[in-house]
A and B are shown apart, each in its own frame.
Chain A
Amino acid sequence: MGSGSYIATRILMTIPTIVLLLTFIFFFVRVLPGDPVLLHFEKQARPEVIESLRHQLGFDRPILDQYLDYMLGVIRGDLGKSMEDFSPVSEQVLSAFPATLELSIFSMIIAVIVGVLLGVVASRSYNSSADHFLRFFGVAVYATPIFFIGMLLQLLFGIGLHLFPTGGRMYPGMEPCGLSFGGTTIRTGLYTIDSILEGNPVKFILALEYLFLPSVTLGLYLSGIFLRLTRSNMLDTLFAEFTIAAKARGLKAKTVMYSYALRNALLPIFTMMGLEFAALLGGAVLTETTFSWPGLGRYLVQRIAFRDYTAIQGAVVYFALVVSLTSLVVDVAYSYLDPRIRV
């Protein structure tokens, strides 16, 4: 199969997945609870109010019409109106997402660096006490609730040592405004990039300081998975025929370790980054709640408290779209890196 047709099949496969996910979410959030409007008011509003809200949100129409409307809306980028403040959910979701994206990128970088480094150390000293300790570290990090890691870091670095801010995304009033020339401004919503665009090093450093604790929290949580993967891949490749052949040819142990074993062990790590992106977003919800980080996860948690079902649905749908598209991009990129996968 050529690479063009592989990519085409992969893209076509994404469509039923997304349709299925959106249908699940619609069913769970909108149909299963009964009447979302009644639930929203906890049965404490006058019937006329309930009826008018129901009409305004289109909930008085047949469920199949609502479903088709919702699916068509998602294609147009319309996620409906919030039940709490009637503003479009898609705008709220889009304004919250960059914060989550920035946190995710930095956490992923930390997770990969820490995980791969420790994994290489563990495999180099295979079956020694250092190896056992690092494997235990991997298990322990996995078994620790992410918000507990976050609070311990807050306690140590924020409240104890006063080194880093323990909550929020930026010093109030210091939000970077991006690059502006003429009448247009270019803003990404990622504070680190926006502050560079603005050319303001103070804001850049501040943005990093606020990012530090949340991304270390989320990064540590995921690093265990990368540690485990790097270790087992390194052990596989260290005993593979091509590394033994390289050793037999008299290459230095270091060369064999890094340019033969590690290079081949890194490919699966790339796939893992795509797979773990879903776990990362789940962890981001808890991290954002712990650090009052104004991202999509915190938006979701806040809307749950308001029983704002349309907003909950919108946020979950957005997460679903991001995850499906990321896995699509990772698979396509991987087919270039490792042509064997296309068969």
Chain B
Amino acid sequence: MRQGITSRSDKRWFPVSAISRFVALRNKGVAGLAIFVGTIIVLSISLMTVSAPWISPRDPSAINVGPVLASPSIDFPLGTDHLGRDMLSRVISGGSIMLQVALLSVPICLFVGVPIGLLAAYIGGTPEKVTSLVMDCVYAFPGLILAIAIAAVLGPGVFNMTLAIVVVYIPSYYRVVRSQVLSIKELTYVDAARAIGASGPSIVFRYILPSVLPSVIAVSSVNFADAILTAAGLTFIGLGLPVSTPDWGWDLTNGRQLLPSGAWWVMAFPGIMIVLLALGFTLVGEGLNELLNPKLEVQVS
């Protein structure tokens, strides 16, 4: 199974060989299929969101473009909300904030959590004990409540939401990296590297880091889904961007209040989009997890 991903025998131009390897994933069992379907979902939603200004039929923020609370029809395929805004246009552009937050927060988590985990586990002793105590503390705390508290204090904004998510999820990377390094650093090849005179940093980053990467990749893919869901949750309880920015989370908040009137379409379509996006990332993460480390169980919580 590993062959499909790591094979280097393909002599074609890189993008071509990459695409053909990606398409071949469909036939690599359930895990390969999960990665294939997940990637397609994530790419199509991202493409839709990026090209929203050109493809949405109406201005997503313009009010009274149609009747108020119209159910889905030919003119308004996904209906309109209580201000007469076109739900189709809002669904097309409503993922932008969530995607921005996820694209910002996951790399920051990676660049902070992975080095701290590597160094702490490699150095050991008191520094490791202290960082582990702090990380375990944050990890044990209900992530969403912590994110809510931080976002409430910092106020709305893409960067503040990102920061709230980063603080919550750094410990997941730290824990995975630390536990792997603790066992890897006892292996013979690390001893060999030390014996041929490799320096501390070079052992950590050239010898140990590559062995840790597969599990880090799987964690970060599931983490994209976590970031999307946390961002949606923050927006839902009113800690997102100002209401004027179209966002699936806001539409769900609106939809909740409109539900008793029977206007299910205001919340249903944005909700389905969040589910699809998070599902796409989770499928990729689960599939990668199974292909890259058959033994490792990633904690998804």
Contact = CB atoms under 8 A, between A and B. Distances in A.
Interface stretch (A51-59, A171-179, A207-215, A312-320): A312-320
Contact of B148 (A139, A151, A300): A300
Interface stretch (B109-117, B176-184, B186-194, B252-260): B252-260
Contacts of B141: 21, 278, 319-320, 323
Sort chain B's interface into a size bin: 35 or more
B140 interface: yes
Interface string A214-232: 0000000000010010001
Interface string B231-244: 01100111100000
A25 B145 contact: no
Contacts of A310: none
B264 interface: yes
A86 to B, nearest CB: 20
Contact of A279 (B142, B146, B256, B286): B142
Contact of B255 (A29, A32, A151, A225): A151
Contacts of A316: 145-146, 149
Given A17-B140, A145-B274, A320-B141, A289 B149 contact: no
Interface in A89-144: 132, 139-140, 142-144
B154 interface: yes
Contact of B144 (A154, A282, A304, A323): A282
A145 B252 contact: yes
Interface in A288-317: 289-290, 297, 300-301, 304-305, 309, 312, 316
Nearest to B33: A132
A223 to B, nearest CB: 13
Given A132-B30, A278-B142, A285 B237 contact: yes
Interface in A24-42: 24-25, 28-29, 32-33
B117 to A, nearest CB: 19
B143 interface: yes
A304 B145 contact: no
Sort chain A's interface into a size bin: 35 or more
Contact of A151 (B140, B142, B149, B271): B271
Interface in A254-281: 275-276, 278-279, 281
A132 to B, nearest CB: 6
Contacts of A33: 153-154
Interface stretch (B13-21, B46-54, B200-208, B277-285): B277-285
Contacts of A25: 149
Contacts of A276: 301
B286 A289 contact: no
Main secondary structure of the interface of A (DSSP, over half): helix
A15 to B, nearest CB: 12
Contacts of A290: 256
A285 B145 contact: yes
A324 B140 contact: yes
Nearest to A32: B153
A301 B30 CA distance: 41
B283 to A, nearest CB: 7
A20 B300 contact: no
Given A139-B279, A147-B233, A159 B152 contact: no
Among B141, B259, B279, max chain A CB count under 10 A is at B141
A316 B140 CA distance: 13
A151 B256 contact: yes
Given A282-B144, A300-B148, A143 B225 contact: yes
A28 B143 CA distance: 15
A143 B276 CA distance: 8
27 contacts: A17-B137, A17-B140, A20-B137, A21-B137, A24-B138, A33-B154, A139-B283, A142-B300, A143-B275, A145-B233, A148-B267, A148-B275, A151-B252, A151-B256, A159-B259, A166-B260, A278-B140, A279-B142, A279-B301, A285-B144, A285-B145, A289-B237, A300-B145, A300-B148, A301-B237, A304-B148, A312-B153
Given A28-B153, A278-B143, 6 more contacts: A33-B153, A139-B283, A281-B145, A300-B145, A323-B141, A327-B140
Interface of A: 16-17, 20-21, 24-25, 28-29, 32-33, 132, 139-140, 142-148, 151-152, 154-155, 159, 166, 225, 228, 232, 275-276, 278-279, 281-283, 285-286, 289-290, 297, 300-301, 304-305, 309, 312, 316, 319-320, 323-324, 327
